[in-house]
Amino acid sequence: MRLRHVKTLIAPFLALFFAGHISFALAQEAVKPGPYLAGRYAEKENDFRAAGAWYARALIADKENPYLIESSLLALIASGGFGMAADKAAYLVEANIESQSAVLMHFAALAQAQEFDAILALLDQGVTSNPLMDQLFKAWAQMGKGDSGLAMQSFEVLAKSPKLAPIGMYHKALALAYAGDFESAEAMISNSVAGQVELGRNSVVAYVQILSQLNRNSDALALLDRNFPQHRDPLMDVLRLQLHTGEAMPFVLVANPTQGMGEAFFTLAYALNNEAEDQITLLYGRLATYLNPNNTQAHLMVAHLLDNLGQYDLAYEAYRAISADDPASYQAELGRANALDAQGNVEAALEVLRSLVLRHPDLTMVHLTLADMLRRQKYFEKAISAYDAAEKTLISGAPQNWVLYYGRGISHEQSSQWDKAEADFNHALVLVPDQPQVLNYLGYSYIDRNENLTEALAMIERAVHKQPDNGYIVDSLAWGLYRLGRYQDALPHMERAALSEPVDPIVTDHLGDIYWAVGRKLEAQFQWRRALSFNPTESDADRIRSKLELGLDGVLAEEGAPALHVIANGQ
């Protein structure tokens, strides 16, 4: 589930997370600074596996340094090294050293071992992580001991909390369903979503399974249609097929109290996602997968977070953790292909996507991802074919379909099929009239073709209004003004674009051209030399070198292009 007022909800837990870390000053006691500093650098680069290795080396010389132990612990959790992380967490907790991450890992390890008495004893002793997780640990541990009455009281503490009520009611519903009381579970989960939360995939599955256990398959189907109206979603399609049989689906989202604690980690990870730093969300997501390896959505979240953090090897491993027969495996394969692409293994990525297209020919996203990757690799004709296949899978003219026509439009334009490109761009604008990327590309293309210049400039001005800080769009506006001979008007926009994109060869080259046009020739030559240092394409580099030798006027004359309006000394 997604909390609508999530920032208000999670703020105290973020504060507690940082407050619960061991003082950085304690690291000064490290005997060998080399491994420690290398670990710190790797940590800042989000290279969790390397950070863990360096901190392990630092700990050889300083085995009891709590800061190093916690830093090692965090790196191990982030990289999935739960066994060693559990040992380090136990050491910190038993040494009474305050560390929220250590408590979370230690409680997770105890839950994995089904040592529920130990969790409750530590909570009674004042060993805490944060109020939300502590209460969920307590309630699920009581369920693990068989004390369902006490557990329900503990869930109710959260359910009566003004800010935490949706989470408390959701987990109480899961516990009731696990205990077989589906009527009470349905009442509780329906209250948890009544105007307070939006259902995520896991909570939809839980709700569907609860309704099905009550022989309310038609209500479960209606729930699916409300939350996932677009068909061709393999997971939801599997649920629909099961519901259409009329048989009761088993409740399996939480099969035991350990998985209940795993869902607690996932609940907070889901709330933190896109609101907190990725590293914090990753900790909760990783622990969710540790306690429930069958939580596909947690694996996908972990993989996406690792992608965001640039850890493509770890992301690839996280995607591979999802079984090939899982209905959501196509999402994992899409992620795996993107991770391979990010690592430079483009052909391997394309092979993954081609295989995926064969297995899921009706999924638009699969075709679209293949098409986008082919386009980025400049395989424009193949990209067009993939976009055509994606178009055949569309159910409706939904606004989000603009990306298909935009991508195909670029591919048509780059393969010299302008009429088809123009039609695609205009179709995209019918779907989303003020889409800045489309307005910019179509407007820039008109300017480049010396067509519809007034209309093109108006398009780009609309795009700039939508994204005033986008250097490439501002560059297009400046270049349009330049092509219209309005050099002085173009200059401030181009200088602003160059500030936004300081190492882009095309933007820098354009700035040089406009400086030349207003008579600032030394500055123009300086910018052209800078542009050469930013690895332009070979054809662009040749033209820049010609401008340095002949000047812009000489190059335009050689090309048979119209001459610049003569403006001396910037006047």
Which pLDDT belongs to residue 456? 93
Which pLDDT belongs to residue 198? 55
Given a contact cutoff of 8 angstroms between Cβ atoms, the answer to whether 174 and 205 are in contact is: no
Which pLDDT belongs to residue 479? 92
Picking from 486, 418, 414, 471, the residue whose alpha carbon sits closest to that of residue 440 is 471
Higher-pLDDT residue of 297 and 20 is: 297
Which pLDDT belongs to residue 4? 39
Which pLDDT belongs to residue 233? 81
Residue-wise pLDDT for 183-218, tens only, equals 999 999 987 665 455 557 899 999 999 999 999 999
- Please give the average per-residue pLDDT across 105-120, as a whole number: 98
Neighbouring CB atoms inside 10 A of 455's CB total: 12
Q: Is the pLDDT of residue 570 over 80?
A: no
> What is the model's pTM?
0.84
N- to C-terminal Cα distance for the chain? 62
Domains and CATH numbers, the chain: 460-571 (1.25.40.10)
Given a contact cutoff of 8 angstroms between Cβ atoms, the answer to whether 464 and 477 are in contact is: yes
CA distance 314 to 285: 14
Q: Is the pLDDT of residue 422 over 90?
A: yes
Given a contact cutoff of 8 angstroms between Cβ atoms, the answer to whether 328 and 235 are in contact is: yes
Neighbouring CB atoms inside 10 A of 571's CB total: 7
Which pLDDT belongs to residue 567? 44
- Tell me which amino acid residue 138 is: K
Which pLDDT belongs to residue 239? 92
Q: Is the pLDDT of residue 123 over 60?
A: yes
Which pLDDT belongs to residue 430? 97
CA distance 193 to 415: 50
Residue-wise pLDDT for 58-70, tens only, equals 999 889 899 999 9
Q: Is the pLDDT of residue 1 over 90?
A: no
The pLDDT-based confidence of 571 (bands split at 50, 70, 90) is very low
Picking from 293, 214, 271, 244, the residue whose alpha carbon sits closest to that of residue 3 is 271
Q: Is the pLDDT of residue 9 over 70?
A: no
Residue-wise pLDDT for 75-103, tens only, equals 999 999 999 999 999 999 999 999 999 99
Block residue for tokens 């991508």? 407
Q: Is the pLDDT of residue 462 over 80?
A: yes
- Contact residues for 194 (Cβ-Cβ < 8 A; gap 6+): none
Residue-wise pLDDT for 354-403, tens only, equals 999 999 999 999 999 999 999 999 999 999 999 999 999 998 778 999 99
Picking from 133, 16, 20, the residue whose alpha carbon sits closest to that of residue 70 is 20
Which pLDDT belongs to residue 3? 40
Q: What percent of the chain has pLDDT over 70?
A: 91
CA distance 21 to 463: 45
CA distance 296 to 360: 19
Q: Is the pLDDT of residue 6 over 90?
A: no
List C-alpha distances in Å: 480 to 440, 455, 565: 11, 11, 15
The pLDDT-based confidence of 448 (bands split at 50, 70, 90) is confident
- Please give the average per-residue pLDDT across 333-362, as a whole number: 95
- Please give the average per-residue pLDDT across 490-509, as a whole number: 96
- Which range among 160-164, 174-178, 294-298, 510-514 shows the weakest confidence by mean pLDDT? 160-164
The pLDDT-based confidence of 326 (bands split at 50, 70, 90) is very high
Which pLDDT belongs to residue 274? 84
Average pLDDT of the residues of the chain: 91
Residue-wise pLDDT for 228-281, tens only, equals 876 678 888 899 999 999 999 999 999 999 999 999 999 999 989 888 899 999
Q: What percent of the chain has pLDDT over 90?
A: 80
Give strand ranges (E) for 12-133: none
Q: Is the pLDDT of residue 434 over 50?
A: yes
Which pLDDT belongs to residue 13? 52
CA distance 318 to 235: 19
Q: Quick one: angle between helices 48-61 and 312-320, nearest 10? A: 110
Give strand ranges (E) for 359-447: none
CA distance 295 to 315: 16
Which pLDDT belongs to residue 226? 87
The pLDDT-based confidence of 304 (bands split at 50, 70, 90) is very high
CA distance 173 to 184: 7
Which pLDDT belongs to residue 269? 94
- Which range among 12-26, 337-351, 495-509 shows the weakest confidence by mean pLDDT? 12-26
Which pLDDT belongs to residue 496? 96
The pLDDT-based confidence of 15 (bands split at 50, 70, 90) is very low
